[in-house]
Structure 1
Amino acid sequence: MLLTLTLILTLLAFVADWIHFHRQRRRGATPQRGFILWALATDALPLVSAIAGLCCHDNGPNVMIFYMWIFWGWIVTVLPRMLYYLFHFAGLRRTGLVFAGALTLFLLWGTTLGRTRIRVNRVEICSDRIPAAFDGYRFVQFSDAHVGTLVNPERELARLVDTINALHPDAVFFTGDLVTIRSAELDERAMSQLRRIESPVWSVTGNHDVGTYIRDSIAFPAADEARNVVEKQRAIGWRVLEDTTLYLRRGADSISLTGISFDPELRHRRHDRHLPADNLPEIYAGVPDSLYNITLVHVPQLWKPVMEAGYGDLTLSGHVHAMQFKIRPWGRGWSPAAWLYEHWSGRYDDGRHTLYINDGTGCVAYPMRLGAWPEVTLFTLKRCE
């Protein structure tokens, strides 16, 4: 799949350049050799990445960062050029230069402030099932930190933790993908920053946390890596919920908090619109359905099975990142993620059930966020009669 996409992107860029150069020659203009070489070199960047991937026996953090920046180089050099060609073909050369320049600046902004400036979204959840003692209960959700592919992990995690602490929540919920490939990404510098979160933290694992993307599975067995990610979270004081439920108590009232781990068997189906959830009866066994329930699950595709099981008054997910690209002229806006996922960003309501998909704070594939800004979400529970 990835190799096919790489070849398609490379071929499309080559074809567009060939058409442009051919049109130039027909008009009597000779393209400069330097520009031709530059165009060919940037067109080939996805191919370079694919070849490098075939040559590497492992895909540790440095390799993944290399892939990300190679793809970034293709985006910021080829896409503006393609936009220029569109205007140039229509006889609007100067307009094309302006739009191509503006796109380049926008992409660079998405690589810098757009990728690092955290937005705090505030969400109020009203329900008559919320007990009186939890009226006004405030908690933060964050997700998809992807520590191993942060450009400056220590500084960016410090900014994230400072943002969370400034909100003074009663609790913090993390909904998976703390690492990108393996547990070594959680080094002492990263752990020392995450340890600074002042409120109690509950977390679940995501598809990147369970070791299934590791290429050298002999040196780094997936099960060991998944266990290490969990152990490191517990070492910094987080409480990892592995297909289990606990109860949060305030005064005489309680609500249930369920955490669903990512099932490694779903790795190749992680982008399917619907996923099986045969283990939900065991996960919710003995949990009174009369209690207000918050469920943490990395993949939002499990929201409907959770609802059908009678739980998940509020389900918190991540995973999608809105593909780190969102056009926001209205409400939720639009993202290519909508082509893959039924639910892909923000809030969804169905009767008494609410799903919220946090856009995450980290990056995969390319170190850039355009419209899908890094997000920390502050929830307030309100009892509504």
Structure 2
Amino acid sequence: MFIFILVIAIALDFYVYSAISSLAFGNFQVLALSVYWLSVVLTLIGIFKFMQDTRKGIRTMNPSTNLLFGLAFSFIVAKIFYAAFLLGEDVFRALAFAGKSIFLQEEVHYSMRSTFWSWTGIGISAIPFIGMCYGVVVGKYRYTTRTVKLKFNNLPSAFHGFRIVQFSDAHLGSFDSIAGLRKGIQSILDAKPDVILFTGDLVNNLASEAEPYIEEFQKLKAPHGIYSVLGNHDYSDYVRWPSRQLKQENLERLKQIQAKMGFEMLHNRHVILKKENEQIAVAGVENWGKPPFPQFGDLDKALSGIPLSMFTVLMSHDPSHWDVQVKQHPKTVNITLSGHTHGMQFGIDLPFFKWSPVKWKYPKWAGLYEEAGKYLYVNRGFGFIGFPGRAGVWPEITVIELEQREHQ
């Protein structure tokens, strides 16, 4: 991945340099090129620092690594925007030259790149750059609590007003601030949960990533418990293990850590929550995703024994599971809680308009979806991975408040 990023960065630099070097003259050209080459140096430093730490086996990031790699990532994205802008003009110039060459009976000269267009491209590409830099420094710990009220016919009256607080995709190996994590923990507690549900990806790869944060997660409390499932990263499939035994030991250690945190893992099984002699079911499956992601989840096993009419909440890490299996299952699952997409940690996430590149892979990438009275909620994630920040799509704490449709 790092080699791919490096190749992209170098290719972009050749293209962008040709435009910037022609924009200015004299002392201003020296200044412009100095700023440009500084961006190149900082990008290379950020990429190599991240590669160095990873190859050393460092799985918990430090602030300097995240800052440098985040800056490098921001420069690359800004240059992609700028290069796209330049490419649009270059295509137009090429078509204009070809058209004139064909239809005019005189010598035609290839037009120079527009200085105005080039400066406009710089201004536009500065917007994602500033946004991503903000995401690296501030955005990744800008926790947002979103409350959704849902009405159901089969919800027991005792559970009217019941608050399910969901968080997902912690990716603790990426965290570089205990204070930042504490803000997220406090946001969960401030939501006044009746039950807390964590929908997978506690770590990036190794169980050891979670060990520094055990005491922080032990602060989480809810009257009806804390339940969790595994996400694709929790299986540590992205690490080359010397043996299957060591890989399995890592997974078992992760389960022990979650238990120590106070999480009860629903490993293709369910629990019954009781309140005033009435009951609802909370089920959880192992990760189930479209290839190449693992399909360890056993929905039939998780739902086995739940009465058909009982109100049921399902935790399944990958939202694609809902479309493929859950919504057409004979047992009605009233609401499925997922994560996995992170909203790509980059996008536009407004009440009236939502967009992120991740939508091209996951059409259901953030928020609430409904079909035939069955709901899916995709949490935007608690942590971050890859890009060490969040731009536009902030970390999320979800509150699902259950309501009985005919409650008086």
Give the TM-score range, shorter chain. 0.7 to 0.9
Equivalent residues in 2 for 1:37-56, closer than 5 Å = 37-42=37-42, 44=44, 48=48, 52=52, 56=55
Secondary structure in 2 matching 1:176: coil
Count of aligned positions: 374
| Structure 2: stretches of 5+ with no match in the other structure | 90-112
Q: Decide which of 278, 282, 297 is 2:301's aligned counterpart.
A: 282
| Structure 1: stretches of 5+ with no match in the other structure | none
Q: Structure 1 residues 162 and 40 mapped into 2: Cα distance closer, same or farther (>3 Å)?
A: closer
Between the aligned partners of 2:257 and 2:39, the Cα distance in structure 1 is: 45
Contact 1:69 1:366 in 2 (8 A): no
TM-score in terms of structure 1 length:
0.84
Between the aligned partners of 1:66 and 1:217, the Cα distance in structure 2 is: 30
Q: Decide which of 143, 146, 149 is 1:121's aligned counterpart.
A: 146
- Which letter does structure 2 place at the counterpart of 1:290? S
Query: CA offsets, 1:205-261, max 9 Å, x none?
Result: 111112212234449822111111111111122111101011111122111110111
Q: Decide which of 185, 199, 216 is 1:175's aligned counterpart.
A: 199
The yes-or-no answer on 1:203 pairing with 2:222 is: no
Query: CA offsets, 1:194-213, max 9 Å, x none?
Result: 00012121111111112212
Contact 2:45 2:68 in 1 (8 A): yes
Q: Structure 1 residues 237 and 84 mapped into 2: Cα distance closer, same or farther (>3 Å)?
A: closer
Following superposition, the deviation at residue 332 of structure 1 comes to 5.5
Q: Structure 1 residues 83 and 237 mapped into 2: Cα distance closer, same or farther (>3 Å)?
A: closer
Between the aligned partners of 2:41 and 2:257, the Cα distance in structure 1 is: 42
Q: Structure 1 residues 49 and 10 mapped into 2: Cα distance closer, same or farther (>3 Å)?
A: farther
Q: Identity of aligned pairs, percent? A: 23
Following superposition, the deviation at residue 157 of structure 1 comes to 2.4
The yes-or-no answer on 1:308 pairing with 2:328 is: yes
Equivalent residues in 2 for 1:1-385, closer than 5 Å = 2=1, 5-6=4-5, 9-20=8-19, 23=22, 34-35=34-35, 37-42=37-42, 44=44, 48=48, 52=52, 56=55, 58=57, 60-62=59-61, 69=67, 71-80=69-78, 86=85, 90-92=114-116, 99=124, 102-152=127-177, 154-187=178-211, 189-199=212-222, 200-218=225-243, 221-262=246-287, 269-270=292-293, 279-304=298-323, 305-309=325-329, 310-331=331-352, 333-385=354-406
Between the aligned partners of 1:181 and 1:123, the Cα distance in structure 2 is: 32
Larger radius of gyration: 2
Secondary structure in 2 matching 1:255: strand
Query: CA offsets, 1:65-96, max 9 Å, x none?
Result: 88755542323334445656758954236656
Secondary structure in 1 matching 2:315: strand
Residues 314-323 or 36-45, more deviating: 36-45
Secondary structure in 2 matching 1:190: helix
Between the aligned partners of 1:101 and 1:21, the Cα distance in structure 2 is: 14
Between the aligned partners of 2:153 and 2:380, the Cα distance in structure 1 is: 28
Following superposition, the deviation at residue 279 of structure 1 comes to 3.0
Query: CA offsets, 1:304-339, max 9 Å, x none?
Result: 201222332100001100100121355360100101
Residues 305-314 or 336-345, more deviating: 305-314
CA RMSD of aligned residues (A): 3.4
Between the aligned partners of 2:138 and 2:24, the Cα distance in structure 1 is: 41
Between the aligned partners of 1:267 and 1:66, the Cα distance in structure 2 is: 35
Following superposition, the deviation at residue 353 of structure 1 comes to 0.5
- Which letter does structure 2 place at the counterpart of 1:14? D
Secondary structure in 1 matching 2:74: helix
